[in-house]
Structure 1
Amino acid sequence: MAKVVKPSVLIKGTKDGLLFFLDDNLPFSIVLNELKHKLLHENASHIWNGPDMRVQIKLGKRQITRREEQDMREIFSFRKNLHVHTLESDGVPYLLDPPRKMEMLTGTVRSGQVLTHRGDLLLLGDVNPGGCVQSTGSIFVLGALRGLAHAGSDGDETVIIAASIFRPTQLRIHNIISRPPDEWKESENHMRFAYIVKDQIAVDKMSHLSHIRPEMEWKELSRRFG
């Protein structure tokens, strides 16, 4: 008698959206492969191409790394109407990585100066053309970013770069480099942030942070400056 193989990804519809239950007994790579198959290859376009839906992900007793989370979010990103809202593990934080602390510094990074930092950085000041700010974590500039910003310098691809006035000469996240388009207007008064998606740097309004990086601990900044 053939053995029935239990699926590693179960999907349940609720009044708030979709619940994804991921098997915590199998290697996470196998779970991701099945998730990818369900979202990209199964003939369910009437679901995946429908209206916007909130997604809750239940990991069971499993904890995952930031890299594993990013791999999972990239799979969901292929379906534009699916928005990952929460990830949960039973009784423990879903992330294995210890949370980073944000440090606040004040001042102006002038031309020729390089400000380096470990962890997440909140800079109250400007980064002038020719200046550079580099951090292993995320970078928030509550001022004008008109120089170079390099976040995730030790390999973290989940970090972001944000600024009140977003006019960088160059952006780097991990080892990915992006030169911003010339048509960005100085008159744009929305705080903006850059992040990695599909191995490229994208830029969006800060008010969209909670949808793109809902796991981040600084959502209050999005509400205040978005």
Structure 2
Amino acid sequence: MNLLMFNSIVIGAMVLMAICLSKLSPLSDRYLKVFYLFAAGNLLAIVALDIIPEAIKEIGILGMLAFMLIGGLIFELMHEFIHIVLPNKKHVSAISIGVALGAHGLPEGMALGIILSVTAMKGYWNIIIIFLLHIFPEMIMFQQALKENKSNKKVKIIILSIIIFIPAILGMLISVRFGEKVQPFVGIFSAVSSGFIYMLVVKELIFRNIKQLKIKDTLIIILGSVLAGVALM
């Protein structure tokens, strides 16, 4: 399997996934909050067990903390800017989730690309399956955020759902093309994206939805999803 075939399969599967998930009905407000909190736990598990260790391995603990802080500040500035330009909270939530997932996808794609550059054909299929399983809940979360705004048409939801994962594809292509030369940048982008994800989890997935649920229920949901994320990894 060559790189062109690999990317064709991944993109085709992403398009099919986006179309199928777009047919899901919007969740009720209460269930949507439960889903967002569950997603928050999963993302926390990914950041703690995958992204941060990768960043520490490449740029050290201090480097990871510095670039994670930069990522968090960039996300906060972006979040406040969107609030000013688009006062509608439903727009802000969807855009924030999309930007954070897109930023997270670039270093993830670069890490996968490094593996792709040295793997055999059987390894390609394993990576495809892992990648699609990983983006499945993220795509559901993003589409549900888009569906909160009833003016968003199905075609728009499908297109945006594909666009936010393009950075992951680009990351793979960059790594395969330049090989070990991009290895240090994987750590930098991983740290920055962990700052994005952390701020997304805190501002959009936890604080925004915790008011509607009891603290005990919230903690149980987040803990359960963290354990589920650990099991999947």
Structure with greater contact order relative to length (CA < 8 Å, sep ≥ 6): 2
> Comparing both structures, which one devotes a greater share of its residues to helix?
2
> Comparing both structures, which one devotes a greater share of its residues to strand?
1
Which protein shows a greater Rg?
1
TM-score range, shorter chain: under 0.3
TM-score by length of 1: 0.21
TM-score by length of 2: 0.21
